[in-house]
Structure 1
Amino acid sequence: MDTKESSLYKEKNDDYYEGANPYLLKHINKGWTEVLDIGCSKGGLGAAIKEKGIRVSGIENFEEAAQIAKGKLDHVIQGNIETMELPYEKEQFDCIIFGDVLEHLFDPWVVLKKVKPYVKKEGSILTSIPNAAHISIVISLLNGDWTYEEAGLMDKTHIRFFTFKEMVRLFTNTGFSINKVERVYAPYGNYIPIIQDLYEVCRKHNIGNEFMMETPVYQYVIEAVKV
Protein backbone atom coordinates (compact mmCIF):
# COMPACT_ATOMS: atom_id res chain seq x y z
CA MET A 1 0.00 0.00 0.00
CA ASP A 2 1.52 3.31 -1.06
CA THR A 3 1.67 6.45 1.08
CA LYS A 4 -1.25 8.16 -0.65
CA GLU A 5 -3.55 5.16 -0.25
CA SER A 6 -2.52 4.71 3.37
CA SER A 7 -3.39 8.34 4.11
CA LEU A 8 -6.94 7.76 2.85
CA TYR A 9 -7.43 5.07 5.48
CA LYS A 10 -5.90 7.24 8.19
CA GLU A 11 -8.57 9.85 7.44
CA LYS A 12 -11.29 7.36 8.39
CA ASN A 13 -13.29 7.89 11.58
CA ASP A 14 -12.32 5.59 14.44
CA ASP A 15 -15.63 3.73 14.23
CA TYR A 16 -14.65 2.52 10.73
CA TYR A 17 -12.43 -0.06 12.46
CA GLU A 18 -14.85 -0.93 15.25
CA GLY A 19 -17.77 -3.30 15.61
CA ALA A 20 -18.85 -6.68 14.32
CA ASN A 21 -20.95 -7.08 11.19
CA PRO A 22 -24.09 -8.87 12.49
CA TYR A 23 -24.86 -10.25 9.04
CA LEU A 24 -21.52 -12.09 9.03
CA LEU A 25 -21.84 -13.16 12.62
CA LYS A 26 -25.17 -14.91 12.04
CA HIS A 27 -23.51 -17.16 9.44
CA ILE A 28 -20.84 -18.45 11.82
CA ASN A 29 -21.16 -22.21 12.25
CA LYS A 30 -20.86 -23.32 15.88
CA GLY A 31 -19.27 -26.55 14.64
CA TRP A 32 -16.24 -24.68 13.32
CA THR A 33 -13.05 -24.91 15.38
CA GLU A 34 -10.79 -22.34 13.70
CA VAL A 35 -11.41 -19.20 11.64
CA LEU A 36 -9.19 -16.65 9.92
CA ASP A 37 -10.52 -13.08 9.73
CA ILE A 38 -8.73 -11.16 6.97
CA GLY A 39 -9.04 -7.43 7.52
CA CYS A 40 -9.91 -8.05 11.15
CA SER A 41 -9.62 -4.34 12.07
CA LYS A 42 -9.62 -4.00 15.87
CA GLY A 43 -10.95 -7.52 16.39
CA GLY A 44 -14.61 -6.76 17.03
CA LEU A 45 -15.99 -9.50 14.81
CA GLY A 46 -13.32 -11.99 15.83
CA ALA A 47 -14.00 -11.40 19.51
CA ALA A 48 -17.69 -12.14 18.94
CA ILE A 49 -16.76 -15.33 17.08
CA LYS A 50 -14.45 -16.38 19.92
CA GLU A 51 -17.43 -16.25 22.29
CA LYS A 52 -18.80 -19.20 20.32
CA GLY A 53 -15.78 -21.28 21.36
CA ILE A 54 -13.94 -20.89 18.04
CA ARG A 55 -10.24 -20.10 17.73
CA VAL A 56 -9.77 -16.90 15.70
CA SER A 57 -6.69 -15.67 13.88
CA GLY A 58 -6.57 -12.31 12.14
CA ILE A 59 -4.68 -10.37 9.50
CA GLU A 60 -4.82 -6.58 9.59
CA ASN A 61 -2.87 -4.15 7.42
CA PHE A 62 -2.94 -1.19 9.79
CA GLU A 63 -0.61 -1.37 12.74
CA GLU A 64 -2.71 0.51 15.29
CA ALA A 65 -5.79 -1.62 14.60
CA ALA A 66 -3.69 -4.81 14.55
CA GLN A 67 -2.20 -4.04 17.96
CA ILE A 68 -5.67 -3.67 19.45
CA ALA A 69 -6.83 -6.88 17.76
CA LYS A 70 -3.90 -8.78 19.29
CA GLY A 71 -5.48 -8.22 22.69
CA LYS A 72 -8.76 -9.80 21.56
CA LEU A 73 -7.92 -12.64 19.15
CA ASP A 74 -5.81 -15.78 19.46
CA HIS A 75 -3.26 -14.79 16.82
CA VAL A 76 -2.89 -11.62 14.73
CA ILE A 77 -0.47 -10.72 11.95
CA GLN A 78 0.00 -7.15 10.80
CA GLY A 79 0.50 -7.03 7.03
CA ASN A 80 -0.96 -6.74 3.55
CA ILE A 81 -2.76 -9.90 2.44
CA GLU A 82 -1.86 -9.16 -1.19
CA THR A 83 1.90 -9.19 -0.64
CA MET A 84 2.59 -11.18 2.54
CA GLU A 85 3.56 -14.82 2.91
CA LEU A 86 1.02 -16.80 4.91
CA PRO A 87 2.44 -18.78 7.84
CA TYR A 88 -0.49 -21.16 8.29
CA GLU A 89 -0.84 -24.89 7.80
CA LYS A 90 -2.60 -26.23 4.72
CA GLU A 91 -6.32 -26.80 5.34
CA GLN A 92 -6.04 -25.17 8.77
CA PHE A 93 -9.26 -23.14 8.75
CA ASP A 94 -12.93 -24.07 8.66
CA CYS A 95 -13.65 -20.61 7.31
CA ILE A 96 -11.75 -17.58 6.04
CA ILE A 97 -13.65 -14.31 6.39
CA PHE A 98 -13.42 -11.22 4.18
CA GLY A 99 -15.78 -8.73 5.82
CA ASP A 100 -16.01 -5.72 3.47
CA VAL A 101 -12.46 -6.42 2.29
CA LEU A 102 -12.44 -7.80 -1.27
CA GLU A 103 -13.52 -4.47 -2.75
CA HIS A 104 -10.44 -2.84 -1.18
CA LEU A 105 -7.97 -5.18 -2.91
CA PHE A 106 -6.15 -4.58 -6.18
CA ASP A 107 -6.51 -8.24 -7.17
CA PRO A 108 -9.15 -10.10 -5.11
CA TRP A 109 -9.03 -12.96 -7.64
CA VAL A 110 -5.40 -13.71 -6.82
CA VAL A 111 -6.04 -13.35 -3.08
CA LEU A 112 -8.88 -15.89 -3.13
CA LYS A 113 -6.64 -18.34 -4.96
CA LYS A 114 -3.87 -17.58 -2.48
CA VAL A 115 -5.94 -18.44 0.59
CA LYS A 116 -7.74 -21.43 -0.90
CA PRO A 117 -5.12 -24.02 0.19
CA TYR A 118 -5.60 -22.95 3.82
CA VAL A 119 -9.34 -23.73 3.78
CA LYS A 120 -10.35 -27.23 4.89
CA LYS A 121 -11.77 -29.58 2.25
CA GLU A 122 -15.32 -28.84 3.35
CA GLY A 123 -14.48 -25.33 4.51
CA SER A 124 -15.72 -22.02 3.21
CA ILE A 125 -15.10 -18.38 2.43
CA LEU A 126 -17.50 -15.95 4.12
CA THR A 127 -17.74 -12.46 2.67
CA SER A 128 -19.74 -9.27 2.70
CA ILE A 129 -19.53 -7.20 -0.49
CA PRO A 130 -21.28 -3.91 -1.39
CA ASN A 131 -23.53 -3.90 -4.45
CA ALA A 132 -22.35 -1.60 -7.25
CA ALA A 133 -25.77 -1.97 -8.92
CA HIS A 134 -27.64 -0.41 -5.99
CA ILE A 135 -30.34 2.01 -7.11
CA SER A 136 -28.52 4.99 -5.55
CA ILE A 137 -25.49 4.32 -7.78
CA VAL A 138 -27.70 3.76 -10.84
CA ILE A 139 -29.31 7.17 -10.27
CA SER A 140 -25.93 8.80 -9.79
CA LEU A 141 -24.76 7.35 -13.11
CA LEU A 142 -27.90 8.64 -14.83
CA ASN A 143 -26.95 12.05 -13.47
CA GLY A 144 -23.43 11.59 -14.83
CA ASP A 145 -21.90 11.27 -11.36
CA TRP A 146 -19.39 8.79 -9.94
CA THR A 147 -18.58 10.61 -6.71
CA TYR A 148 -16.48 9.02 -3.99
CA GLU A 149 -17.50 9.44 -0.36
CA GLU A 150 -16.00 8.93 3.09
CA ALA A 151 -17.84 5.64 3.59
CA GLY A 152 -20.60 3.51 2.11
CA LEU A 153 -21.08 2.12 -1.38
CA MET A 154 -18.84 4.77 -2.93
CA ASP A 155 -16.16 4.66 -0.25
CA LYS A 156 -13.09 6.41 -1.62
CA THR A 157 -10.90 3.48 -0.55
CA HIS A 158 -12.80 0.98 -2.73
CA ILE A 159 -10.68 -0.25 -5.61
CA ARG A 160 -13.00 -2.88 -7.13
CA PHE A 161 -16.75 -2.73 -7.69
CA PHE A 162 -19.03 -5.76 -8.03
CA THR A 163 -22.57 -6.45 -9.12
CA PHE A 164 -24.07 -9.74 -7.99
CA LYS A 165 -23.23 -11.43 -11.30
CA GLU A 166 -19.62 -10.33 -10.96
CA MET A 167 -19.50 -11.68 -7.41
CA VAL A 168 -20.63 -15.06 -8.73
CA ARG A 169 -17.93 -14.93 -11.40
CA LEU A 170 -15.33 -13.91 -8.80
CA PHE A 171 -15.88 -17.07 -6.77
CA THR A 172 -16.50 -19.40 -9.69
CA ASN A 173 -13.29 -18.34 -11.42
CA THR A 174 -11.20 -18.82 -8.28
CA GLY A 175 -12.33 -22.35 -7.47
CA PHE A 176 -15.29 -21.84 -5.16
CA SER A 177 -18.99 -22.60 -5.36
CA ILE A 178 -21.54 -20.29 -3.74
CA ASN A 179 -23.89 -22.13 -1.41
CA LYS A 180 -25.45 -19.28 0.60
CA VAL A 181 -26.47 -15.74 -0.32
CA GLU A 182 -28.09 -13.18 1.96
CA ARG A 183 -29.32 -9.90 0.54
CA VAL A 184 -28.96 -6.95 2.91
CA TYR A 185 -31.24 -3.98 2.30
CA ALA A 186 -30.96 -0.37 3.39
CA PRO A 187 -34.15 1.75 3.42
CA TYR A 188 -35.12 2.34 -0.21
CA GLY A 189 -38.79 3.29 -0.08
CA ASN A 190 -38.18 6.63 -1.80
CA TYR A 191 -36.60 4.80 -4.73
CA ILE A 192 -39.52 2.43 -5.43
CA PRO A 193 -41.21 4.58 -8.13
CA ILE A 194 -37.87 4.98 -9.95
CA ILE A 195 -37.11 1.26 -9.66
CA GLN A 196 -40.51 0.42 -11.12
CA ASP A 197 -40.09 2.87 -14.00
CA LEU A 198 -36.59 1.62 -14.80
CA TYR A 199 -37.83 -1.95 -14.66
CA GLU A 200 -40.40 -1.16 -17.35
CA VAL A 201 -37.61 0.21 -19.54
CA CYS A 202 -35.59 -2.96 -18.93
CA ARG A 203 -38.57 -5.15 -19.78
CA LYS A 204 -39.29 -3.20 -22.95
CA HIS A 205 -35.75 -3.71 -24.22
CA ASN A 206 -35.33 -7.24 -22.79
CA ILE A 207 -32.41 -6.33 -20.53
CA GLY A 208 -31.78 -6.44 -16.81
CA ASN A 209 -34.19 -9.25 -16.03
CA GLU A 210 -33.03 -9.29 -12.39
CA PHE A 211 -33.19 -5.52 -11.97
CA MET A 212 -36.13 -5.45 -9.57
CA MET A 213 -34.54 -8.00 -7.26
CA GLU A 214 -30.93 -6.83 -7.27
CA THR A 215 -30.96 -3.04 -7.44
CA PRO A 216 -32.51 -2.51 -3.95
CA VAL A 217 -29.76 -4.67 -2.38
CA TYR A 218 -27.15 -2.66 -0.49
CA GLN A 219 -24.78 -5.51 0.35
CA TYR A 220 -24.45 -9.24 -0.25
CA VAL A 221 -23.29 -11.75 2.34
CA ILE A 222 -21.93 -14.76 0.48
CA GLU A 223 -20.65 -18.11 1.71
CA ALA A 224 -18.69 -20.10 -0.86
CA VAL A 225 -17.19 -23.58 -0.47
CA LYS A 226 -14.11 -25.07 -2.10
CA VAL A 227 -14.70 -26.93 -5.36
Structure 2
Amino acid sequence: MTEIDKSTRLAAPYVNAGNDVVLSLVPAGVRRILDVGCGGGDNARHLRATHPGVEIVGLTHSEEEVEIARPYLDAIHVVDLDRGLSDAALEAWGAPFDLLLFSHVLENLIDPLATLRRCLTRLQPGGYAVIAVPNVLEWRTRMKFLRGHFVYTEHGILDRAHMRFFTYETASTELVAPIEGLALLDQRPRGALPLGPLRRIGAGRPLWSALDRAGLRRRPNLFSRETAILARWGGGS
Protein backbone atom coordinates (compact mmCIF):
# COMPACT_ATOMS: atom_id res chain seq x y z
CA MET A 1 0.00 0.00 0.00
CA THR A 2 1.29 3.47 -0.81
CA GLU A 3 0.36 6.48 1.25
CA ILE A 4 1.01 9.91 -0.27
CA ASP A 5 0.57 13.09 1.71
CA LYS A 6 -0.01 15.79 -0.91
CA SER A 7 0.77 18.51 1.61
CA THR A 8 4.47 17.66 1.79
CA ARG A 9 6.92 19.68 -0.25
CA LEU A 10 8.51 17.98 -3.22
CA ALA A 11 12.16 16.98 -3.26
CA ALA A 12 14.37 15.92 -6.14
CA PRO A 13 14.69 12.14 -6.53
CA TYR A 14 17.79 10.70 -4.87
CA VAL A 15 19.17 7.73 -6.82
CA ASN A 16 22.54 6.05 -6.45
CA ALA A 17 24.15 2.62 -6.51
CA GLY A 18 23.42 1.86 -2.86
CA ASN A 19 25.71 2.35 0.11
CA ASP A 20 27.99 -0.64 0.63
CA VAL A 21 29.33 0.40 4.04
CA VAL A 22 25.75 0.81 5.30
CA LEU A 23 24.68 -2.51 3.83
CA SER A 24 27.66 -4.26 5.41
CA LEU A 25 26.35 -3.33 8.87
CA VAL A 26 22.88 -4.85 8.44
CA PRO A 27 22.79 -7.94 10.69
CA ALA A 28 21.72 -11.30 9.36
CA GLY A 29 18.25 -12.44 10.32
CA VAL A 30 16.44 -9.11 10.25
CA ARG A 31 12.96 -9.59 8.82
CA ARG A 32 11.34 -6.17 8.82
CA ILE A 33 13.16 -2.91 7.97
CA LEU A 34 12.14 0.75 8.00
CA ASP A 35 14.21 2.62 5.39
CA VAL A 36 14.02 6.26 6.51
CA GLY A 37 14.91 8.45 3.54
CA CYS A 38 14.71 5.55 1.11
CA GLY A 39 15.46 7.64 -1.99
CA GLY A 40 15.02 5.64 -5.15
CA GLY A 41 15.12 2.35 -3.22
CA ASP A 42 18.74 1.53 -4.01
CA ASN A 43 19.62 0.20 -0.56
CA ALA A 44 16.33 -1.70 -0.46
CA ARG A 45 17.14 -3.33 -3.80
CA HIS A 46 20.44 -4.66 -2.45
CA LEU A 47 18.87 -5.75 0.83
CA ARG A 48 16.30 -7.86 -1.03
CA ALA A 49 19.14 -9.64 -2.82
CA THR A 50 21.20 -10.30 0.31
CA HIS A 51 18.38 -10.87 2.83
CA PRO A 52 15.75 -13.01 1.04
CA GLY A 53 12.26 -12.63 2.42
CA VAL A 54 12.93 -9.31 4.14
CA GLU A 55 10.03 -6.84 4.35
CA ILE A 56 10.97 -3.19 3.76
CA VAL A 57 8.88 -0.09 4.41
CA GLY A 58 10.24 3.17 3.00
CA LEU A 59 9.83 6.81 3.99
CA THR A 60 10.51 9.53 1.45
CA HIS A 61 10.00 13.25 1.04
CA SER A 62 9.53 13.09 -2.72
CA GLU A 63 6.53 11.81 -4.62
CA GLU A 64 8.81 11.19 -7.60
CA GLU A 65 10.82 8.75 -5.49
CA VAL A 66 7.66 6.79 -4.76
CA GLU A 67 7.44 5.64 -8.37
CA ILE A 68 11.18 4.90 -8.59
CA ALA A 69 11.40 3.02 -5.28
CA ARG A 70 8.05 1.21 -5.38
CA PRO A 71 9.37 -2.04 -6.99
CA TYR A 72 11.80 -2.59 -4.10
CA LEU A 73 9.52 -1.79 -1.17
CA ASP A 74 6.53 -3.47 0.41
CA ALA A 75 5.09 -0.08 1.40
CA ILE A 76 6.16 3.52 1.02
CA HIS A 77 5.00 6.69 2.77
CA VAL A 78 5.68 10.31 1.86
CA VAL A 79 6.37 12.27 5.04
CA ASP A 80 7.99 15.53 6.10
CA LEU A 81 10.19 14.45 8.99
CA ASP A 82 10.79 18.06 10.03
CA ARG A 83 7.09 18.53 10.74
CA GLY A 84 7.14 15.82 13.35
CA LEU A 85 5.68 12.34 13.34
CA SER A 86 2.23 11.88 14.83
CA ASP A 87 1.17 8.69 16.58
CA ALA A 88 -1.17 8.00 13.65
CA ALA A 89 1.70 8.29 11.17
CA LEU A 90 3.84 5.91 13.18
CA GLU A 91 1.03 3.37 13.45
CA ALA A 92 0.48 3.56 9.67
CA TRP A 93 3.90 1.98 9.13
CA GLY A 94 2.58 -1.30 10.51
CA ALA A 95 4.13 -3.75 12.94
CA PRO A 96 7.33 -2.90 14.82
CA PHE A 97 10.61 -3.25 12.93
CA ASP A 98 13.78 -5.26 13.45
CA LEU A 99 15.95 -2.55 11.93
CA LEU A 100 15.80 1.19 11.23
CA LEU A 101 17.96 2.42 8.36
CA PHE A 102 19.02 6.09 8.16
CA SER A 103 21.40 6.41 5.21
CA HIS A 104 22.34 10.07 4.69
CA VAL A 105 19.05 11.51 5.87
CA LEU A 106 19.60 12.79 9.43
CA GLU A 107 21.97 15.56 8.32
CA ASN A 108 19.10 17.01 6.28
CA LEU A 109 16.85 17.49 9.31
CA ILE A 110 16.44 20.43 11.68
CA ASP A 111 16.29 18.12 14.71
CA PRO A 112 17.71 14.72 13.74
CA LEU A 113 17.80 13.47 17.32
CA ALA A 114 14.07 14.09 17.78
CA THR A 115 13.28 12.18 14.58
CA LEU A 116 15.52 9.32 15.61
CA ARG A 117 13.84 9.10 19.00
CA ARG A 118 10.36 9.03 17.45
CA CYS A 119 11.32 6.31 14.97
CA LEU A 120 12.84 4.22 17.75
CA THR A 121 9.38 3.85 19.25
CA ARG A 122 8.62 1.58 16.27
CA LEU A 123 11.71 -0.59 16.79
CA GLN A 124 11.52 -3.92 18.59
CA PRO A 125 13.57 -4.15 21.80
CA GLY A 126 16.78 -5.84 20.72
CA GLY A 127 16.41 -4.39 17.23
CA TYR A 128 19.04 -2.39 15.38
CA ALA A 129 19.59 1.07 13.94
CA VAL A 130 22.04 1.71 11.11
CA ILE A 131 22.98 5.35 10.60
CA ALA A 132 25.22 6.93 7.96
CA VAL A 133 26.24 10.59 7.87
CA PRO A 134 28.95 12.54 6.01
CA ASN A 135 32.12 13.63 7.81
CA VAL A 136 32.53 17.39 7.41
CA LEU A 137 36.20 17.18 8.50
CA GLU A 138 37.30 14.88 5.68
CA TRP A 139 40.63 16.11 4.26
CA ARG A 140 39.16 17.59 1.05
CA THR A 141 36.74 19.75 3.03
CA ARG A 142 39.51 20.78 5.43
CA MET A 143 41.57 21.99 2.49
CA LYS A 144 38.63 24.12 1.31
CA PHE A 145 38.28 25.63 4.78
CA LEU A 146 42.03 26.34 5.00
CA ARG A 147 41.80 28.21 1.70
CA GLY A 148 38.97 30.27 3.12
CA HIS A 149 36.23 28.61 1.06
CA PHE A 150 32.86 27.59 2.49
CA VAL A 151 30.49 27.29 -0.44
CA TYR A 152 27.43 25.06 -0.51
CA THR A 153 27.16 22.59 -3.39
CA GLU A 154 24.37 20.57 -4.99
CA HIS A 155 25.79 17.27 -3.75
CA GLY A 156 28.38 15.94 -1.34
CA ILE A 157 29.50 16.92 2.15
CA LEU A 158 28.56 20.59 1.73
CA ASP A 159 25.22 19.84 0.07
CA ARG A 160 23.02 22.92 0.43
CA ALA A 161 20.23 20.71 1.83
CA HIS A 162 22.32 19.77 4.87
CA MET A 163 21.03 21.32 8.07
CA ARG A 164 23.45 19.65 10.49
CA PHE A 165 27.10 18.68 10.21
CA PHE A 166 28.83 15.71 11.84
CA THR A 167 32.33 14.30 11.99
CA TYR A 168 33.49 10.73 12.41
CA GLU A 169 34.09 11.48 16.07
CA THR A 170 30.84 13.30 16.80
CA ALA A 171 28.43 11.08 14.87
CA SER A 172 28.04 8.59 17.70
CA THR A 173 28.22 11.17 20.50
CA GLU A 174 25.53 13.29 18.84
CA LEU A 175 23.21 10.56 17.57
CA VAL A 176 23.66 7.52 19.81
CA ALA A 177 25.03 8.53 23.21
CA PRO A 178 22.19 10.96 24.10
CA ILE A 179 19.50 8.28 23.68
CA GLU A 180 18.90 6.10 26.70
CA GLY A 181 18.68 2.47 25.66
CA LEU A 182 20.60 2.85 22.39
CA ALA A 183 24.03 1.19 22.48
CA LEU A 184 26.81 1.60 19.93
CA LEU A 185 27.96 -1.75 18.50
CA ASP A 186 30.12 -0.79 15.53
CA GLN A 187 31.29 2.25 13.58
CA ARG A 188 32.94 2.13 10.16
CA PRO A 189 34.56 4.85 8.05
CA ARG A 190 34.59 5.05 4.28
CA GLY A 191 37.02 7.25 2.43
CA ALA A 192 40.43 7.44 0.76
CA LEU A 193 43.87 8.95 1.20
CA PRO A 194 45.13 11.68 -1.18
CA LEU A 195 47.38 9.38 -3.22
CA GLY A 196 47.08 11.20 -6.54
CA PRO A 197 48.75 9.51 -9.54
CA LEU A 198 49.25 6.23 -7.68
CA ARG A 199 45.54 5.47 -8.17
CA ARG A 200 45.97 5.59 -11.95
CA ILE A 201 48.42 2.70 -11.86
CA GLY A 202 46.42 -0.48 -12.13
CA ALA A 203 49.18 -2.61 -10.62
CA GLY A 204 49.27 -0.28 -7.63
CA ARG A 205 45.77 -1.18 -6.46
CA PRO A 206 46.87 -3.58 -3.68
CA LEU A 207 49.23 -0.92 -2.33
CA TRP A 208 46.82 2.01 -2.33
CA SER A 209 44.01 -0.18 -0.98
CA ALA A 210 46.26 -1.15 1.93
CA LEU A 211 47.22 2.50 2.49
CA ASP A 212 43.55 3.53 2.49
CA ARG A 213 42.71 0.89 5.09
CA ALA A 214 45.64 1.89 7.29
CA GLY A 215 44.82 5.60 7.02
CA LEU A 216 41.16 5.08 7.83
CA ARG A 217 42.06 2.90 10.79
CA ARG A 218 44.55 5.42 12.22
CA ARG A 219 42.90 8.74 11.30
CA PRO A 220 39.23 8.16 10.45
CA ASN A 221 38.28 11.75 11.26
CA LEU A 222 40.73 12.98 8.62
CA PHE A 223 40.30 10.46 5.82
CA SER A 224 36.70 9.22 6.06
CA ARG A 225 34.20 10.88 3.77
CA GLU A 226 31.34 9.28 5.68
CA THR A 227 30.79 7.11 8.70
CA ALA A 228 28.26 4.36 9.29
CA ILE A 229 27.08 3.27 12.73
CA LEU A 230 25.39 0.13 14.01
CA ALA A 231 23.51 0.50 17.30
CA ARG A 232 21.23 -1.80 19.25
CA TRP A 233 18.00 -0.73 20.91
CA GLY A 234 17.23 -2.09 24.34
CA GLY A 235 14.27 0.20 24.94
CA GLY A 236 14.36 3.39 26.93
CA SER A 237 12.36 6.20 28.43
Could you say which TM-score interval applies, normalised by the shorter chain?
A: 0.7 to 0.9
Deviation per residue, 1:64-84 (Å, 9 max, x gap): 101222232111111123334
Q: Counterpart in 2 of 1:125?
A: 129
Give 2:25's aligned amino acid.
H
Where does structure 1 lack aligned partners over 5 or more consecutive residues? 1-5, 191-209
Give 2:226's aligned amino acid.
Q
Are the aligned partners of 1:38 and 1:81 in contact in 2 as well (CA < 8 Å)? no
Are the aligned partners of 1:102 and 1:108 in contact in 2 as well (CA < 8 Å)? yes
Q: Distance in 2 between matches of 1:177 and 1:164?
A: 17
Paired-residue identity, %: 22
Alignment root-mean-square deviation, CA: 2.1
Are the aligned partners of 2:168 and 2:224 in contact in 1 as well (CA < 8 Å)? no
Aligned length: 197
Pairing partner for 1:184 from 177, 184, 190: 190
> What's the offset of the Cα at 1:187?
4.3
Q: Counterpart in 1 of 2:60?
A: 60
Give 1:221's aligned amino acid.
A
Are the aligned partners of 1:59 and 1:66 in contact in 2 as well (CA < 8 Å)? no
Matched, 1:223 2:230: yes
Deviation per residue, 1:27-58 (Å, 9 max, x gap): 22231110010111121211221232211110
TM-score scaled by length of structure 1: 0.79
Matched, 1:113 2:117: yes
Matched, 1:88 2:93: yes
Distance 1:135 1:26, change over 3 A: same
Using the TM superposition, name which of 41-50 and 76-85 deviates more.
Answer: 76-85
Q: Counterpart in 1 of 2:30?
A: 32
Q: Counterpart in 2 of 1:79?
A: 79
Give 2:110's aligned amino acid.
F
Distance 1:187 1:152, change over 3 A: farther
Q: Which runs of 4+ in 1 moved over 6 A?
A: none
Q: Distance in 1 between matches of 2:111 and 2:30?
A: 28
Matched, 1:145 2:152: no
Pairing partner for 1:100 from 97, 104, 108: 104
Where does structure 2 lack aligned partners over 5 or more consecutive residues? 1-8, 197-216
Deviation per residue, 1:88-145 (Å, 9 max, x gap): 357x111100111111111101011111111111111101111011112222222221
Q: Distance in 1 between matches of 2:61 and 2:43?
A: 16
SS in 2 for 1:179: strand
Give 2:221's aligned amino acid.
E
SS in 2 for 1:82: helix
Q: Counterpart in 1 of 2:199?
A: none
TM-score scaled by length of structure 2: 0.76
